[in-house]
């Protein structure tokens, strides 16, 4: 691989470059959740707020996206606004990066592509909302997010609130196991359910502090296991979660609409997210924003810890 940084294939924002050089904690932030996971009108505010939260904890944010065919690690204000507001922003998973560069597209990056680009730049910690995973009906559709395979080969601490219940949560956990990706519950022994504090699925490992996260990272590095991601699963506070009854009702109606409208492939996730936002009268949006803010804050603490250990 020619060096993507010195070849200019990837553009690293000055502030991010400086932070990496100085050994200051850097947190990668995902752009698909901004462009395709949150509604217009609010998404730019959230994107800016996430960067602010990271800064307040003493780390440097690096929101990642492809702008006019160039992967950017850290966006200036105008690029962030384009990702949040332009109509033709593509959703770019890992396999889309090459074609998007060749055709000079502008697009938002998923967990898979964001973590890949962040790793290329030397970033160790990444905050997102929920991971992609195994879809319900995957036995027929084969629809499993490329996020999972990417986590198996990308050195990155990925802070998330589990996966949304629109997916098959237990199958997703099984696939993470197959890929050899550790899942750490942050002060919990339950895999979070994104809108809900718990998905109902137990996980094997609980960490109680960011120091412990850094220790896991170091231990894996010593064993040659530093080639893959660590999933740090951070649940929403109980008082902030979505009402479980409302959650179940909206989930069932959304799944029925997928079938009746024959929505498939990469449109499934954005469709269901939008259905949640409209059918809960904005309540799921409030929770969604809380979730990503909480993850950005924890990721920043982890980044500071990892940078100093
Ligand atoms: N889950 C969410 N919100 C999101 C996504 C997932 O709760 O915005 C986005 C992330 O960018 C994730 C992607 O990487 O969807 C997965 O999409 P797919 O299943 O098409 O790989
Ligand atoms: Mn898919």
Query: Is 164 a known active-site residue?
Result: yes
pLDDT score, position 5: 84
The CATH number linked to 65 is 3.40.1790.10
Using one digit for the tens of pLDDT, what is the confidence trace for 233-266? 999 999 999 999 999 999 999 999 999 999 988 7
Does ligand 1 come within 6 angstroms of the Cβ of 132? Answer: yes
Q: What percent of the chain has pLDDT over 70?
A: 100
Using one digit for the tens of pLDDT, what is the confidence trace for 216-234? 999 999 999 999 999 999 9
With vertex at residue 125, the alpha carbon angle to CA 94 and CA 74, rounded to the nearest 5 degrees, is 70
Between CA 120 and CA 154 the distance in angstroms is 9
- CA of 224 relative to ligand 2 center, distance in Å: 30
Q: Residue 286 corresponds to which tokens in the numbers above? A: 């409030």
Both 111 and 137 in a single domain?
A: no
Both 116 and 148 in a single domain?
A: no
Number of domains within the chain: 2
- CA of 21 relative to ligand 2 center, distance in Å: 36
Exposed/middle/buried for 41, CB within 10 Å: 0-12, 13-18, 19+? exposed
What does pTM read for this prediction? 0.96
pLDDT of residue 85 exceeding 90, the answer is yes
Both 166 and 183 in a single domain?
A: yes
Q: How confident is the model at residue 1 (pLDDT cuts 50, 70, 90)?
A: low
Q: How confident is the model at residue 14 (pLDDT cuts 50, 70, 90)?
A: very high
pLDDT of residue 215 exceeding 90, the answer is yes
pLDDT score, position 264: 86
Catalytic residue among 51, 91, 144, 164: 164
Both 165 and 256 in a single domain?
A: yes
Both 119 and 136 in a single domain?
A: no
Handedness of CA 250, 35, 135, 216 (dihedral sign): negative
Query: Is 30 a known active-site residue?
Result: yes
Query: What mean pLDDT do residues 153-167 have?
Result: 96
Using one digit for the tens of pLDDT, what is the confidence trace for 112-137? 999 999 999 999 999 999 999 999 88
pLDDT score, position 4: 85
Query: What mean pLDDT do residues 133-154 have?
Result: 94
Does ligand 1 come within 6 angstroms of the Cβ of 33? Answer: yes
Least confident of 48-57, 63-72, 191-200, 264-273: 264-273
With vertex at residue 69, the alpha carbon angle to CA 28 and CA 51, rounded to the nearest 5 degrees, is 25
Between CA 28 and CA 117 the distance in angstroms is 9
* Domain end point (choices 65, 100, 123): 123
Query: What mean pLDDT do residues 11-25 have?
Result: 97
Does ligand 1 come within 6 angstroms of the Cβ of 254? Answer: no
Both 222 and 261 in a single domain?
A: yes
Both 109 and 42 in a single domain?
A: yes
Does ligand 1 come within 6 angstroms of the Cβ of 144? Answer: no
State the chain's mean pLDDT as an integer.
96
Both 31 and 68 in a single domain?
A: yes
Using one digit for the tens of pLDDT, what is the confidence trace for 20-40? 999 999 999 999 999 998 989
Cα separations (Å) of 9 from 63, 274, 280, 281? 17, 34, 42, 43
Nearest bound ligand to the CA of residue 93 = 1
- CA of 276 relative to ligand 2 center, distance in Å: 19
Q: What's the domain range around 308?
A: 132-309
Both 181 and 236 in a single domain?
A: yes
> Can you tell me which atom of ligand 1 is nearest the CA of 133?
19
pLDDT of residue 2 exceeding 80, the answer is no
């Amino acid at each position: 691989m020619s060096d993507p940084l010195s070849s200019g294939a990837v553009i690293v924002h000055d502030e991010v470059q400086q932070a990496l050089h100085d050994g200051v904690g850097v947190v990668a932030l995902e752009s698909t959740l901004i462009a395709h996971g949150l509604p217009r009108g609010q998404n730019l505010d959230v994107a800016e707020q996430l960067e602010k939260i990271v800064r307040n904890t003493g780390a440097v944010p690096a929101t990642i996206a492809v702008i006019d065919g160039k992967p950017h690690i850290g966006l200036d204000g105008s690029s962030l606004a384009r990702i949040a507001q332009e109509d033709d922003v593509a959703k770019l998973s890992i396999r889309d990066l090459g074609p998007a560069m060749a055709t000079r597209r502008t697009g938002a990056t998923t967990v898979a592509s964001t973590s890949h680009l962040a790793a290329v730049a030397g970033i160790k910690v990444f905050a997102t909302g929920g991971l992609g995973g195994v879809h319900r009906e995957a036995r027929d559709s084969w629809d499993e997010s490329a996020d999972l395979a990417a986590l198996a080969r990308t050195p990155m601490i990925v802070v998330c609130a589990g996966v949304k219940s629109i997916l098959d949560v237990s199958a997703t956990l099984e696939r993470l196991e197959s890929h050899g990706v550790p899942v750490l519950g942050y002060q919990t022994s339950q895999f979070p359910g994104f809108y809900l504090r718990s998905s109902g699925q137990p996980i094997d490992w609980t960490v109680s502090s960011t120091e412990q996260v850094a220790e896991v990272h170091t231990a894996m590095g010593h064993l040659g296991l530093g080639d893959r991601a660590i999933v740090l699963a951070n649940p929403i506070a109980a008082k902030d979660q979505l009402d479980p009854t409302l959650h179940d009702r909206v989930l069932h109606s959304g799944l029925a609409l997928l079938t009746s409208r024959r929505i498939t492939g990469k449109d499934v996730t954005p469709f269901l997210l939008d259905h949640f936002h409209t059918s809960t009268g904005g309540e799921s949006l409030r929770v969604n924003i809380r979730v990503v803010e909480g993850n950005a804050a924890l990721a920043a603490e982890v980044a500071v810890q990892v940078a100093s250990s």
